[in-house]
Amino acid sequence: MESVHYDNIIIGAGPAGLTAGIYLSRAKAKTLILDSGVAGGQMILTHQIANYPGIESISGYALSNNMRNQARKFGCDMLSGVSITQIDFESEIKSLSLSNGKSFSADTIILATGGRSRTLGVPGETNFKGRGISYCATCDGDFFQDKEIAVVGGGNTALEEAVSLTKYASKVTLIHQFDHFQGFKHAEDEARSNEKIHINLNSRIVSFNGEDKLTSITVENLLTHDQYNIGLDGVFIFIGYEANTDFLQGRCIYLNERQEIVTDDKLQTNVSGVFAAGDALAKRFRQITTAVSDGTIAALSAMEYINQRKQKEAAH
């Protein structure tokens, strides 16, 4: 089957990938976005977004739909639910093949594959994502004003976010499976000294309970194996984060020890013509707004690369 050529192929259709698609297509670059799922990434799992500049409140699904339609309006092609089987990023013309037999090539690639919060994997977790279970305090903390919540985890993020969430919640139960925390001492001391935080060590959640929304959790004491229910309105889970870079491991793209993509200030990877954006990057903060910023920078950098390449071809 003949390969279809694009100026740029974006892998990933979260806010970073969609933003890059908007910028490139509006600049008249022939652009294709590929995604293994549906457009929107983790954004579509967010019930309500209240901290996106210029928009008072919007669902994650609605915002992703707006971005997708905007990219298509400018002429961006999209394929969802695809699986990449072959990749060649090291050649001057990049190429890839899909499991459905289609092949594509491009002058540039933008990797916007996003990431995922580690999950507990216990009953009810999938059902109550966005309906009481959150993985982002910055995104969802203010929805729990004067309500009782739990925080799961024992590292710096869990300790710091537990303290941060006391600005909203009336009570925060901090649940950790070990008998000690793994975070810095000053973070632990701050959590322990906060009167709103109640600490349950040697404990784990065994189920999330409720009907339309989360109303309680079942907790097991790992020393006695006793189980008990805690009534609450929300649970924030901070047990780590994973970049969606499994398909890049063992390939030419440089990843750090956490398997995150390493780039320069133009968001170009170690491979010429391959850029990256969004939550798969090696960076500290992961928000929709930071993903949008990354998508903008990667798109402008890719456009610059494309224009320079065309100028060289014209000169010859």
311 pLDDT band (50/70/90 cuts)?
Answer: confident
State which of 237, 253, 271 marks the end of a domain.
237
One domain for residues 36 and 84: yes
One domain for residues 47 and 188: no
Listed in sequence order, the DSSP H helices in 2-118 are 15-26, 60-73
| Structural domain boundaries, residue 200 | 133-237
Of residues 111 and 135, which shows the higher confidence score? Answer: 111
User: Count of residues for the chain?
Assistant: 316
What is the tens place of the pLDDT at every residue in 192-215? Answer: 999 999 999 999 999 999 999 999
One domain for residues 88 and 231: no
One domain for residues 221 and 284: no
One domain for residues 150 and 95: no
One domain for residues 111 and 144: no
What is the tens place of the pLDDT at every residue in 243-264? Answer: 999 999 888 999 999 999 999 9
Residue 203 near residue 219 (C-beta atoms within 8 A): yes
Examine residue 17 and state whether it is found in any structural domain, yes or no.
yes
Looking at residue 226, its pLDDT comes to: 97
What is the tens place of the pLDDT at every residue in 32-88? Answer: 999 998 888 888 867 678 889 999 889 888 999 999 999 999 999 999 999 999 999
State which of 237, 261, 279 marks the end of a domain.
237
Secondary structure (3-state) at 229: strand
Cβ neighbours, 10 Å, residue 198: 14
**Residue 311 parent element (H or E):** helix 288-315
Of the listed ranges 22-31, 135-144, 209-218, 226-235, the least confidently predicted one is 135-144
Examine residue 128 and state whether it is found in any structural domain, yes or no.
no
One domain for residues 101 and 166: no
Examine residue 122 and state whether it is found in any structural domain, yes or no.
no
One domain for residues 162 and 178: yes
Summarize the confidence of residues 185-196 as an average pLDDT: 96
Examine residue 306 and state whether it is found in any structural domain, yes or no.
yes
pTM equals 0.77
Looking at residue 1, its pLDDT comes to: 59
Q: For residue 44, give the CATH number of its domain.
A: 3.50.50.60
Looking at residue 48, its pLDDT comes to: 75
Mean of pLDDT over the chain: 94
Examine residue 124 and state whether it is found in any structural domain, yes or no.
no
Give the total number of structural domains in the chain: 2
Residues 6+ apart with CB under 8 A from 96: 9, 84, 86, 87, 88, 103, 104, 105
On the question of pLDDT at 115 being above 80, the answer is yes
Examine residue 73 and state whether it is found in any structural domain, yes or no.
yes
